[in-house]
Amino acid sequence: MNIKQQFKEGLITQNPVTVQLLGMCSTMAITTMLFNGLGMGVSVLIILTLSNIFISALRKIIPNKIRIACYIVVIATFVTMVDLLLQAFVPALADSLGVFIPLIVVNCIILGRAEAFASKNDIAASAVDGIAQGVGYTIILVVMCVVREFLGSGTVMGGLLELQDGALRFGLGTAAGIRVLPEGIPALGMALPVGGFLMLAAVIAFMQWALAKGEKKKNKEVAK
């Protein structure tokens, strides 16, 4: 088990969003403010890690012909648990994310890692893979949220912090965010679905450019 390599893959070379191009729907739909991105990212991270652990533990007894169905049952169990916990303890996040929490059951990131990694590796390696891929997914969501919220609404830290009577107030899902741009200046299109498409395209393009540049530099060093 190479922890450093697994984190490098999850964050950069095999990032689930920018390289594997998985989980596109939720990535574009919920990245309108930081609160949503963090909530979705952490939820996926927890579900992905726990699913990997259980699927890895059961990999030798799951019949090959029904493995996908078994994976979905495991994933659905953890999704239901997370969904109920959010509704009980963070109802504002559950309402904000809406149907996208239950839809984690069919999120290709989780099913893909179950099939490609957890079903072929031990529990420890599978747990690290889940954490690495989940962190990589969360980072991309946070980046998109910060940029879209700033350009589309003119605020930062939406759903978490706001200025009230000159003092910072923490509000889990209720805070309006800290206004940076005056009213009327933000490009409202960035808060709409088209903004999600544009932002995702920009993030993917930047990652592909960075990977290509790194590969080119590596090839030059090998040639020397």
Instruction: From residue 133, give the alpha-carbon distance in Å to each of 2, 122, 168, 179.
Output: 14, 16, 33, 32
In a domain, 105, yes or no: yes
The position carrying tokens 């893909």 is: 112
In a domain, 39, yes or no: yes
| Cα–Cα distance for residue pair 193/189, rounded to 1 Å | 8
Instruction: From residue 168, give the alpha-carbon distance in Å to each of 117, 135, 148, 176, 190.
Output: 44, 28, 22, 11, 26
Residue-by-residue pLDDT tens, the chain, 224 positions:
688 999 999 999 999 999 998 888 888 888 989 999 999 999 999 999 999 999 999 999 999 999 999 999 999 999 999 999 999 999 999 998 888 898 888 888 999 999 999 999 999 999 999 999 999 999 999 999 999 999 998 899 888 888 887 788 888 777 888 888 888 787 888 888 889 999 999 999 999 999 998 888 888 777 76
**Main-chain phi, psi angles of 61, to 5 degrees:** -115, -5
In a domain, 196, yes or no: yes
Is residue 55 within 8 Å of residue 74, measured between CB atoms?
yes
Is residue 65 within 8 Å of residue 92, measured between CB atoms?
no
The position carrying tokens 């395209």 is: 201
In a domain, 224, yes or no: no
* 77-107 tens-digit pLDDT: 999 999 999 999 999 999 988 888 988 888 8
In a domain, 177, yes or no: yes
In a domain, 140, yes or no: yes
Number of domains in the chain: 1
In a domain, 223, yes or no: no
Residue-number span of the structural domain to which 19 is assigned = 3-218
